[in-house]
Amino acid sequence: MIPLTLAQIAEITGGELRGDPAAVVTGEVVIDSRRAGPGGLFAAVAGEHADGHDFASAAVAAGAVAVLATRPVPVPSVLVGDVPAALAALAKFAIDALPAVAIAGITGSSGKTTTKDVAAQLVERLGPTIAPAGSFNNEFGHPLTVLRADAATRYLVLELSARGPGHIAYLCRVAPPRYGVVLNVGHAHAGEFGGLDQVARAKGELVEALPADGAAILNADDPRVLAMAARTAARVVTFGVDDRNAQIRSAEIRAADVRLDDLGRPSFTLLTPEGQAGVTLRLHGAHNVPDAVAAAALARELGLGLADIADGLCAAVARSRWRMEVRHREDGVAVINDAYNANPESVRAALQALRHLAQDGRGFAILGHMAELGDTSRASHEDIGEFAAQSELAGLIAVGEEAVPILAGARRVRSWTGEALAVPDGTAALDALANQLKPGDVVLVKASRAAHLEGVAAELLISNGGATRPPVPPGEGAAR
Ligand SMILES: Nc1ncnc2c1ncn2[C@@H]1O[C@H](COP(=O)(O)OP(=O)(O)O)[C@@H](O)[C@H]1O
Ligand SMILES: [Mg+2]
């Protein structure tokens, strides 16, 4: 955070100052009062379960200099009409004051957080880098991340999400990116957008925001993404994954010869104009390959050399929780916790990884519903069920009413001999699997965020006297 006086904060936000104009905010800006600390600014927002204004005094007691609020609070404050707009104004001011910071934005329907986390681990090799934790990618998390930058910062690696047209353009106005990565156009939130072409329109707002001396890093394997080349003033750089069958060799930065080990971790040859290098990821599932290659293409644009890129990709770990976390119980049962979120593309990717991991045992999937798919929701769930059955699962458990169509889809596969079961909640899913699992079996747990199935994965790991109970992380926001 660059130091700002309360007087400056009031001026930048157009707010009403209620406190000492000369008091200086030097610490982090937060919206979670429990994270408020010395020198910081606490932005009070009304959430689903609590109203931040009720915690204004607690935040100041914890050291916050003042509170950004929409109604009077009994502590030093700046009263504004709209907190996200005020945060955006502050972030814009702060980042404009730091012209040496190179800003990169990453968007797409699936893989933003993974790509952001991998890219950050590469870019950190070049200099001080700020990247959000988890999915801080909306009108709250985005400005909060930008505000963490200070005079020492050289790179901002941001995740940009859209739930409608104009959202990404807005985030790009807050922190104008010079580099933009577009991963894919898929069905996440497609219901809200009205279809894939509308999703593409919205995701492409990122490349429209790039300057002529910037770079648009586009997935050559996704026609809707590649078509965004026509919508940018920036230089276009393409990335992709060579398809062994189709012999496609088009992208400038690409992965070839992708193989998976027993745990589904990909190895590949990274091909760049500067040469090639071998890479083995620590991430599970082939779908991480395009994400890793996109991260590599971004780091390369920022000046990282091929050896460092390859080394960094091999070292990169999943920094955000519940995305394809593979853990083993003492009895040899593996649990894949991919409960962070779900859309048709990511469920398919997870089922493919499950099939791969379960080569020496049986595969079970506990699937909750995929939210926000609109008119295509029922058909999409059926298709996922069909795909799951084709993956030769031993068992498919649909959790919750909205997930039931998955089973109808599975039954379309006549040759499938696995068991299908609908249960009302996660506890019932655990009960259904209790005493069934044997060494070598693999269980995938996946659903939309709203279903909160991560607890099911955690329970599975400790049931049966299992070994590794993962630490319970602080809840991540619902934003994607
Ligand atoms: N390129 C990809 N294609 C399909 N699914 C993916 C891809 N990258 C990641 N996923 C899956 O999508 C889900 C969300 O991943 P994440 O990196 O959090 O993306 P986002 O931030 O876009 O929601 C996870 O289940 C992950 O395994
Ligand atoms: Mg995310």
What is the rounded average pLDDT for all residues in the chain? 92
Q: What is the mean pLDDT of residues 142-162?
A: 95
Other beta carbons within 10 angstroms of residue 427's beta carbon come to 13
- Residues flanking ligand 1, CB < 6 Å: 110-114, 135, 183-184, 285, 287, 290-291, 323-324, 338, 340-341, 345-346, 349-350, 480
Identify which of 287, 345, 347, 352 to mutate to test ligand 1's pocket (most ligand atoms within 8 A of the CB): 287
pLDDT in tens, 327-384: 999 999 999 999 988 899 899 999 999 999 999 899 999 999 998 888 889 999 999 9
Query: Cα(107)–Cα(166) distance, rounded to whole angstroms?
Result: 13
Q: What is the pLDDT of residue 426?
A: 93
Query: Are 147 and 174 in contact, with CB atoms under 8 Å apart?
Result: no
pLDDT in tens, 279-332: 999 999 999 999 999 999 999 999 999 999 999 999 999 888 888 899 999 999
390: which 2 tokens? 């084709």
Query: Are 63 and 39 in contact, with CB atoms under 8 Å apart?
Result: yes
358 CA to middle of ligand 2, Å? 27
Strand partners, 215: 179, 235
Q: What is the pLDDT of residue 472?
A: 38
Q: What is the pLDDT of residue 462?
A: 87
Ligand 2 is an ion; its neighbours by CB within 5 Å are 112-113, 135, 480
Cα–Cα–Cα angle for 252, 218, 381, nearest 5°? 125
Query: Cα(355)–Cα(445) distance, rounded to whole angstroms?
Result: 13
| Residues 6 or more apart whose Cβ sits within 8 Å of residue 378 | 405
pLDDT in tens, 109-143: 999 999 999 999 999 999 999 999 877 778 889 99
287 CA to middle of ligand 1, Å? 8
Query: Are 1 and 27 in contact, with CB atoms under 8 Å apart?
Result: yes
Ligand nearest to the CA of 112: 1
Q: What is the pLDDT of residue 74?
A: 97
Position 470 pLDDT exceeds 70? no
Q: Record the pTM.
A: 0.87
Q: What is the pLDDT of residue 465?
A: 46
Query: Cα(290)–Cα(375) distance, rounded to whole angstroms?
Result: 29
Ligand nearest to the CA of 115: 1
Q: Supply the Cα-derived Rg of the chain in whole angstroms.
A: 23
Query: Are 102 and 302 in contact, with CB atoms under 8 Å apart?
Result: yes
343 CA to middle of ligand 2, Å? 12
pLDDT in tens, 79-109: 999 999 999 999 999 999 999 999 999 999 9
Query: Cα(261)–Cα(210) distance, rounded to whole angstroms?
Result: 38
